[in-house]
Amino acid sequence: MPRLLPDTKKRSIEKLIAKIKAGSDVAKRDLNALLTNELKLELEIERKKQQQLKKIKKPIVLKEYEKLHKQALMLFGRYDSYVVKTKTISNVVTDRKAKKEELAIKTSLAVKKAQVYLVKAIKNKPALIEWLDRDSNLIGKDIGLQYDLLPFVITSRSEDKLIDIKERFGLKTIKEMRLEVLNKALHLAEIEIDDWYRANGFIREEWITDEEKVKNEEKLKRLLENLKKNKGAW
């Protein structure tokens, strides 16, 4: 396959990037035609790495913690939304304050249960920490109703988790891997263009400062004026 000129190569890479971002299919041969051998190898290594990462499974021991965590969150939600007031129903006074205090106790016990379970699990298997969204040293702490101190498992669908499994383990899609190497290829193409201009004695317009542009315009204007004068003298 004939080697592409730097400018042509850059335009081809930009078109391919736009195509991938738009969600269109890209043939492997079209991709490889624009990558250096080093970038092809980098893409292949990353692809194999991602295959291994996708085989990682969430530890079974965390499933029980997730149940306890969910229970604590549910109880806290009920406690937090419970309105304290006194009202009369059929001449019977219902003290909602007592009910709220009861919910507070239930919530604290649920939070404590999840805390104790997690601390014990981590003690037995410290590597579990990488499956949690935050660093929480829960050993010996009485966190009471502070359910937010309980970490989320990174596979949780909750919007409150601080980090997800993709961020923690660096998971990437095929689209992301391809865009990554193509952006590197685009940078290399830019360098090739710069080198080509320098090698052939040209200056790229973006290299010229505004001051130099003004000087060049004035110089060109004088040359044209002199050309007109000389033409009139003939």
pLDDT in tens, 40-63: 999 999 999 999 998 999 999 999
| Cα Rg of the chain (Å, integer) | 33
- Which of 37-41, 208-212, 228-232 has the lowest average pLDDT? 228-232
For 141-153, what is the mean pLDDT?
85
Alpha carbon distance 96, 93 (integer Å): 9
Contacts (Cβ under 8 Å, ≥6 apart) of 36: 185, 188
Which amino acid appears at position 158 of this protein?
Answer: S
Tell me the sheet residues that pair with 87.
94
Residue 87: pLDDT above 70?
A: no
**In the chain, % of residues over pLDDT 70:** 82
Crossing angle for the helix pair 6-21 and 174-199, to the nearest 10 degrees: 160
The pLDDT of residue 201: 67
Alpha carbon distance 51, 63 (integer Å): 24
The pLDDT of residue 1: 43
- Which of 71-85, 119-133, 154-168 has the lowest average pLDDT? 71-85
The pLDDT of residue 81: 84
| Averaged confidence pLDDT in the chain | 84
For 126-152, what is the mean pLDDT?
84
Alpha carbon distance 153, 61 (integer Å): 11
Q: Do 121 and 61 contact (CB within 8 A), yes or no?
A: yes
Largest CA distance in the chain: 119
Residue 122: pLDDT above 90?
A: yes
The pLDDT of residue 91: 47
